[in-house]
């Protein structure tokens, strides 16, 4: 397993090249090859799960080489508890996204080549421990995502793709400024070969060997505060946090089903992961300074997303706004200076990834049959599609945080941590559970209950490939709802260490 993480990154790139040489009319061959390629990082991730040391603080499965000598850029990859849980989520969602793409029949070769490139970039983001390398993978995601929405999306696909690209690009420019600034303010150190270097992109050295609170102000603003804001805006766009959220509903509505699954299941989590990895680890004094604002933004996301979801008649747009609401739980958990809140935040990231992936797959299932997503035009589908109704009901219950399912555990931890410092905000946030139940149960009522709609009486129930794409997600949601310790043990040590870096 010495090069396990590199295999996870480069296997999808190798697969992209293989797909490029398959004749374009061999659709099934392209799909099966893509599924096999996506299975390799998943299997490696499962093996690493059993080898991962739950008690270690530093990165594991490390590969560390000199890359660009003059700038001290390194190929430095590894995972700790914070990134490993996200890596496992990524390889699972990537695998599911291939199954969710089984119905793609337009420019199949180009689609799956772009999908595999996206897989590689996603994995790279979660394992990169060099700022420059992280930025490369972060930007690399833009290319395939832009084309996957812009070519294979819905009627307003060009608008949605450009909006997504521009929002993300603006954030990336701010992040680039911060990365360069932090690099030039880093202390002299040694490179991977032990040679002295004046500056470093190494995230571990930046965290352990530097105190940026002593850096000179820029434009009269404290250095750490300015860097925190630049990085935070970039990551907040990806979350997406209100008021930077407007790209998300358009991107979701126009994107193909599998791309919506990746967007909600993984890409949104990159925003909050980036905050933990950069803002919290490198700028602890600015993090404590910004905590109250993050708490407020988290509550705004929760309430705004829930209320807006309740007003939607488009099934996919409802799920998109529910994602905004549920990412508010993550932000609120991150705003606490408690281990419970931090653990709840990262566990919510994982749980939301599995639950929302299920929901978007289920939206795609009914859209493939009805060719619309208008909730008010359905009705009585439980009698016509009982298996589909059962899966959707399960996903809705998981989404609203029903005890016994995984989201309940993470939401409970978030509020447990939040009540310590923000009791009023926590009470306001808890009411979101009521509105979440309201819009989900009301949507379920309109779609599945009442007299069957005659236009849909001949709809076939779920296909085997659709069921297979949902089963691993549903099993995880149920298992971690009953017994969450396998997940909590992965990141508890890492979160405790991150919390210890923050001034009290």
Angle at 423 between CA 422 and CA 428, to 5 degrees: 100
Three-class SS state of 284: helix
The domain segmentation of the chain, as residue ranges, is 283-504
pLDDT at 92: 95
Report the percent of the chain where pLDDT is more than 90.
60
Find the mean pLDDT for residues 176-181: 94
- Residues of the chain by 3-state class (helix, strand, coil), percent to 5: 75, 5, 20
Let me know if 221 is exposed, middle or buried by CB neighbors in 10 A (0-12, 13-18, 19+): exposed
* pLDDT band at residue 299 under the 50/70/90 scheme: very high
Q: Is the peptide bond before 373 cis (omega within 30 degrees of 0)?
A: no
pLDDT of 362 over the 90 cut: yes
CA distance linking residue 190 with residue 376, whole number of Å: 63
pLDDT of residue 81: 85
Q: Summarize pLDDT for 386-443 with one digit per residue, the tens.
A: 999 999 999 999 998 889 999 999 999 999 998 888 899 999 999 998 899 999 999 9
pLDDT in tens, 90-111: 999 999 999 999 888 888 999 9
Higher pLDDT, 168 or 1: 168
Q: What is the pLDDT of residues 108-144, one digit of tens each?
A: 999 999 999 999 999 999 999 999 999 999 999 989 9
pLDDT at 58: 86
* Chain segment 235-247, per-residue pLDDT in tens: 999 988 988 888 8
Question: What integer best gives the mean pLDDT of the chain?
Answer: 91
- The predicted pLDDT at position 125 comes to 95
Quick check: 41 pLDDT over 90?
yes
Question: What confidence score (pLDDT) does residue 368 get?
Answer: 87
User: Distance between CA 339 and CA 39 in Å, rounded?
Assistant: 34
Residue 354, preceding bond cis, omega within 30 degrees? no
- The pLDDT confidence band at residue 36, using thresholds 50, 70 and 90, is very high
Nearest residue to 394 (alpha-carbon basis) of 428, 434, 354: 354
When pLDDT is averaged across residues 364-383 and rounded to a whole number, the result is 88
Span 342-358, average pLDDT: 93
Q: Which helix (H) or strand (E) holds 168?
A: helix 157-184
Give the mean model confidence (pLDDT) for residues 187-198: 84
């Amino acid at each position: 397993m010495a090069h396990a993480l590199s295999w996870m990154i480069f296997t999808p790139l190798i697969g992209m090249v293989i797909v490029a040489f398959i004749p374009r009319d061999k659709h099934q061959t392209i799909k099966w090859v893509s599924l096999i390629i996506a299975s390799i990082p998943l299997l490696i991730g499962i093996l690493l799960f059993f080898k991962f040391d739950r008690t270690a603080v530093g990165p594991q499965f490390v590969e560390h080489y000199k890359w660009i000598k003059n700038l001290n850029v390194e190929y430095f990859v590894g995972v700790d508890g914070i990134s490993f849980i996200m890596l496992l989520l990524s390889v699972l969602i990537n695998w599911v996204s291939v199954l969710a793409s089984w119905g793609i029949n337009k420019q199949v070769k180009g689609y799956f080549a772009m999908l595999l490139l996206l897989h590689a970039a996603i994995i790279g983001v979660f394992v990169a421990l060099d700022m420059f390398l992280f930025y490369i993978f972060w930007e690399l995601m833009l290319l395939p995502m832009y084309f996957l929405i812009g070519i294979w999306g819905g009627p307003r696909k060009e608008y949605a793709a450009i909006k997504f690209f521009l929002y993300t690009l603006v954030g990336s420019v701010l992040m680039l400024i911060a990365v360069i600034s932090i690099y030039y303010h880093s202390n002299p150190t040694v490179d991977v070969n032990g040679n002295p270097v004046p500056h470093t992109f190494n995230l571990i050295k930046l965290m352990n060997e530097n105190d940026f609170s002593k850096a000179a102000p820029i434009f009269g603003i404290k250095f750490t505060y300015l860097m925190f804001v630049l990085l935070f805006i970039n990551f907040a766009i990806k979350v997406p946090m209100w008021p930077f959220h407007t790209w998300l509903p358009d991107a979701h509505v126009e994107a193909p089903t599998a791309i919506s699954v990746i967007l909600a299941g993984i890409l949104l989590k990159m925003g909050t992961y980036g905050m933990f990895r950069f803002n919290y680890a490198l700028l602890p004094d600015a993090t404590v300074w910004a905590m109250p604002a993050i708490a407020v933004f988290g509550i705004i996301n929760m309430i705004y997303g829930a209320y807006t979801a309740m007003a939607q008649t488009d099934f996919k747009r409802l799920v998109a706004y529910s994602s905004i609401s549920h990412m508010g739980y993550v932000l609120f958990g991150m705003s606490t200076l408690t281990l419970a809140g931090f653990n709840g935040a990262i566990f919510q990231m994982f749980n939301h990834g599995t639950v929302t992936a299920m929901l978007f797959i289920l939206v795609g299932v009914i859209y493939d049959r009805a060719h619309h997503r208008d909730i008010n035009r359905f009705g009585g589908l439980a009698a016509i599609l009982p298996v589909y109704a059962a899966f959707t009901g399960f996903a809705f219950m998981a989404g609203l945080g029903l005890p016994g399912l995984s989201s309940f555990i993470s939401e409970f931890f978030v509020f447990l941590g939040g009540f310590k410092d923000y009791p009023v905000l926590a009470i306001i946030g808890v009411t979101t559970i009521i509105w979440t139940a309201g819009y989900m149960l009301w949507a379920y009522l309109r779609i599945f209950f009442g007299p069957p709609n005659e236009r849909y009486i001949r709809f076939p129930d779920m296909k085997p490939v659709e069921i297979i794409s949902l089963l691993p997600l549903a099993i995880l949601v149920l298992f971690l709802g009953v017994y969450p310790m396998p997940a909590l043990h992965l990141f508890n040590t890492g979160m405790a260490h991150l919390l210890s870096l923050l001034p009290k």
